[in-house]
Each structure stands twice: as structure tokens, then as C-alpha cells.
Amino acid sequence: MTIIVGYQPDKGGRSTLELAALLAQSGRKEPLAVVTVVPQHWSTPSMAKVDGEFAAWADEQGKAASATAGAYLAEKYPEVDASFHQVSGRSIPSALMQACKDLGGDLMVLGSSSDGRVGQVLIGSTAEPLLHSSDVSIAIAPRGYRTGAAGRLTRLTCSFSGTKESKDLLLATAQMSLRVGGRLRIVTFGVRGRTMYPPEVGLRAEDMVLKSWSEQIAADQAQAVQLLRSYGLLPENTTAEIVTGASWVDVMDELEWEPGEVLVVGSSPVGALARVFLGSRAIKIVRYSPVPVIVVPAGIAAEEAADAVEAAAEAGPAQTPQAQ
């Protein structure tokens, strides 16, 4: 797997490098390709010297960014295998996407907008279009993110809703967990919001609905754990939780997060396209996450789930689960 790092020194670049290094050195070593997008000069040359001066300035900016990133990684993460590239483009998202294709990237790492508070994942102008059009997984670092003493992935938390797409995502996350040697946590989020029923009905009906939903989700989680076990993809010490609250802030605060943890979120399918497309629920999970987030396109999750099914079938009847 090749990890593409969208790096801009003045836009949370260190946080991006930190998350990329964490992903690169957890489990099997993965190469990094650090990409800086510089302004594109006019394709049609003019008589003015300013065109040449602008091109030279842009080139120097790219070289300086690569040197800064290289020095940072060499000092903090000397064992990471990194290469450095500069590409030009009028649109940073499209230039990064093209670089990802040219370099054979499987995962793109981006930073948060500098407008947010430290520790918050805030989707900026670069990440937002990519989160709606990328055909590779996107990882986003919170503003000011540092790996700290962990140095490697310790736990992957998979956002699970019980749908077919979330089961595919769980299979993909379990495979990732085994590959990097991290623990797996399955979490279902439930936001109650405003009172569901008018006062004359009372809160009892709402409590009954919540209880019924929780029981169904618990059954779905147990079935998913059994499915992972049947495929031979159940990491040791896997846990499952259901967390509810009146708001997304409350829900995220209810969970215990640890250094080196990453939240994995799935996208909604977009026809036959294997691209990221975030619905309103997934967007809120990303925005309120206190840890780095990896967004996996539905198409990629489905492919990895199919590979797991095929591998289980080849392993023999003992490894193939009963049809659900």
C-alpha cells in the first residue's frame, strides 16, 4: 500500500505528516509519497518576464515544502520510507487526486482546516471535495495532531450501523486491524436529538423505542462478531459498544478514546462508482471525532469484504460461515 500525503507547510502540514507516519509504521511498513501542490502558471507563454519569474517562484515553494517535510520526518520518524513530489494545478483537490493515481496511491492523508480548534477534525476546502469524489480511502488528522508516545496504531474503532454497507466496512476494518496489529472496537452511535414524542405521550414511549433499537443493534453486533470469527478475521480483545446521547458532542464524549486510536467510517454507495460519498450522518461522525478518521469508500469496503469471503471459502468448509 502506498500512502499519499497532501502536504502544505502553512496548512496543518505537521499534523498530516504525523498521521501519515503513524499509519506507515504500524504493522507492515508502508511507503509514503509526500505531495505538495504548487500554483500552475499559464500554459501559454507571454513576452513578459513575470511568467518565468512566477514559475521559478512556484518551483522554489515546492522544493522548500519538500525540504521542510523531509527534515521533519528524518528527525522524528527516520525509519519511514518517504519520497517527495511537487505537482502543479489550479485546483489542489484535483491535483492531489491525479498525483494519487500517478503514484499508485491506496490511501490519501489530509489535514484539518486551521479554522478549527486544536484536537478537532474540521473539513477544509481541500478535504471536502475529495470526501465526495475520491475513489481511494481518505484519512484526516485533527488540527494539531501528534502521535505522542503511542507511535503506532493501537486501536481501530469501526462505526457500525448494522446495514450491509457497514458489515462490509467492518470486514475491511478487521483486516486492517490484523495487518497493523491493533485492537478492534465496534461502535454504534445513536443520537436521540429532540424528544421524539409530544409531552402528552410521555417519555416512556421514547424509552421503549430506544430499548428496542439497542436490543436490535446488540444482536447485529453479536452476529457481526460471529461473522468475523467464521472468516478468521476476529482480532483478539475485540469489543463492541452502543453509545447514545442527545447530541453528537454528547455521544463522542461518552466514549473513551486512547492515544494511537483511529475511527473508521464508511461512505454511502453512489451507483456503480467505488467513490467516497458522505451522507449527513457520516459527516457528523467525522466532524465530531476527537481522533483521526479514515473514510472508506463503499466500493472498496465491498471489494475487501468479497475478498474475505473468497479466502474463507478457499480455506474450506470449516472456515465458511452459514448463510445469513
Cα Dmax for the chain? 78
User: What are the Cα distances from residue 154, in Å, to 32, 88, 197, 261?
Assistant: 20, 36, 41, 6
Topology of domain 1-148, per CATH? Answer: Rossmann fold (3.40.50)
Same fold, 1-148 and 153-324: yes
Q: What is the DSSP string of 283-306?
A: HHHHHT-SS-EEEE-HHHHHHHHH
At 67 the pLDDT is: 93
Tens of pLDDT, residues 169-216: 999 999 989 888 899 999 999 887 554 455 555 556 667 778 888 899
Closest CA to 6 of 68, 85, 91, 96: 96
Q: Kindly report the backbone phi and psi dihedral angles of residue 297, in degrees, each rounded to the nearest multiple of 5, phi listed first.
A: -60, 145
> What is the rounded distance in angstroms from the CA atom of residue 85 to the CA atom of residue 120?
28
Dihedral angle sign, alpha carbons of residues 47, 50, 52, 58: negative
Residues, the chain, total?
A: 324
Q: Where are the domains of the chain?
A: 1-148, 153-324
Q: Look at domain 153-324 and name its CATH class.
A: alpha beta
Dihedral angle sign, alpha carbons of residues 200, 203, 207, 213: positive
Give the global pTM: 0.86
Tens of pLDDT, residues 63-95: 999 999 999 999 999 999 999 999 988 888 999
